Chains A and B, each alone.
Chain A
């Protein structure tokens, strides 16, 4: 269980990293914290020709609030974000969700942007990005663009990022007073979610994002429903997510959790707001 051979570039500048991506296209791959990708290398599921390590680029290691959004650079580890003193105030949903991401020992290395790039449908950070309507900042050697979360995730571990692009940063809008809650059901603590729910409740609307069910995190906006109307809305949402059976849970169970835990998450967010 050892990786296939590859060249290695420890990028000394962002331009160098982007230059490799430009020259090698899909044969190159960026490695940041490596917490998902290295396992795939070891299993030889991934066989890049060249790896580009971006973790020694100071310009990517930035974590800052700029006006109404928090910009997290590609070099920021999950543990750094979790330890950021402003996190509970600025991004309460992430403050609640991030402890569910892996374990202390993987958050210490894994990066925020790496998790977004990996686009695992059960992962917490992609869910938060979608729930919060965040953006992904993509760069090539020539150009930069900003993609909304809803457009970034395109399928199972599939994103709108082109081969010669890398994620420079992601940005999350700062909380605007909505009540937030996050709940997750997994087989064990720290496992990938069977169903993860992130809820934002404002004075006028409910936004519920679900991970672990569809091929990518999905968010839905509802008016301030309650009672059976909310149940109906969640039931429709549950079916629309097209849940699957796998070795850990049935599709029906996933839909059940969307209805039940989705509702509990919304109610918790409502309380949190009140």
Chain B
């Protein structure tokens, strides 16, 4: 491919939650900044910009990804999912989101988007996790408000609900 010059702004296009989006970015622009300030998808938050806190976690081509450790130009043509794509409708919550609300699994809500993305991917791959597996997954996120227990409970309850729904679907 042609070399993208440092000073230039280059077209970047991908799908965000199933819809095509595009914008221009210098090669150095972080995906977190591109999503938030170019595309306007501010649901993904930035907490540390060195890959530790997990607030900016999104899904890129099915892989959990720290948006702060990714360049916008790297995701050209990719399929990206963010917290804005989790709810089935604007006025409804997903099973996982609803469990979070029931269990007070968030307070300030700043780290929540990243945690939801991790759990959403995890519960698809691991429909019946035990608490240790959930905590292992969550160890890639920092939350300063909840002490984590309500998040663990919400995740386990959502897992149970989701797998029950899947079984029903399977039996139907």
Binding site for B on A (CB under 8 A): 1-12, 16, 20, 31, 34-35, 38-39, 41-43, 49-51, 53, 55, 77, 79, 102-106, 108-109, 188-190
In the assembled complex, 13 residue pairs joining A and B whose CB atoms fall closer than 8 Å, in A order, are: A1-B49, A5-B7, A5-B28, A6-B27, A8-B71, A11-B1, A38-B71, A79-B63, A104-B136, A105-B65, A105-B141, A106-B51, A106-B66
Residues of B within 8 A of A105 (CB): 54, 57, 64-66, 118, 140-141
A31 CA / B69 CA spacing, docked (Å): 11
B74 adjacent to chain A (CB < 8 Å): yes
Complex: chain B residue closest to A83, CB-CB: B125
Q: A1-B49, A2-B28, A190-B140 are in contact. Are A38 and B4 (CB under 8 A)?
A: no
A146 CA / B68 CA spacing, docked (Å): 34
Q: A8-B4, A9-B3, A103-B139 are in contact. Are A39 and B50 (CB under 8 A)?
A: yes
Q: A3-B28, A109-B66 are in contact. Are A50 and B140 (CB under 8 A)?
A: no
Complex: chain A residue closest to B27, CB-CB: A8
User: Smallest Cβ distance from B28 to chain A, in angstroms?
Assistant: 4
A4 CA / B73 CA spacing, docked (Å): 15
A188 CA / B26 CA spacing, docked (Å): 36
Complex: chain B residue closest to A37, CB-CB: B69
B84 adjacent to chain A (CB < 8 Å): no
Count contacts on B: residues with CB < 8 A to the other chain. 34
Q: Could you tell me if A104 and B65 are in contact, using CB atoms closer than 8 angstroms? A: no
Q: Could you tell me if B76 and A10 are in contact, using CB atoms closer than 8 angstroms? A: yes
With A42-B30, A55-B74, A105-B57 already in contact, 15 other A-B pairs whose C-beta atoms are closer than 8 Å: A1-B50, A6-B6, A7-B4, A38-B68, A38-B69, A38-B71, A41-B28, A42-B50, A102-B140, A103-B137, A103-B139, A109-B65, A109-B66, A188-B139, A190-B139
Complex: chain A residue closest to B4, CB-CB: A8
Q: A43-B50, A104-B64 are in contact. Are A34 and B70 (CB under 8 A)?
A: yes
Residues of B within 8 A of A34 (CB): 69-71, 74
**Most chain-A Cβ atoms within 10 A of its Cβ — which of B26, B33, B63?**
B63
Q: Could you tell me if A108 and B122 are in contact, using CB atoms closer than 8 angstroms? A: no
Q: A7-B5, A42-B50, A50-B3 are in contact. Are A2 and B30 (CB under 8 A)?
A: yes
Q: Could you tell me if B73 and A109 are in contact, using CB atoms closer than 8 angstroms? A: no
Residues of A within 8 A of B141 (CB): 105
User: Smallest Cβ distance from B8 to chain A, in angstroms?
Assistant: 9
Residues of A within 8 A of B73 (CB): 8, 10
Q: Could you tell me if A35 and B51 are in contact, using CB atoms closer than 8 angstroms? A: yes
A30 CA / B73 CA spacing, docked (Å): 15
A34 CA / B76 CA spacing, docked (Å): 16
Q: Could you tell me if B6 and A5 are in contact, using CB atoms closer than 8 angstroms? A: yes
A102 CA / B69 CA spacing, docked (Å): 14
A6 CA / B26 CA spacing, docked (Å): 9
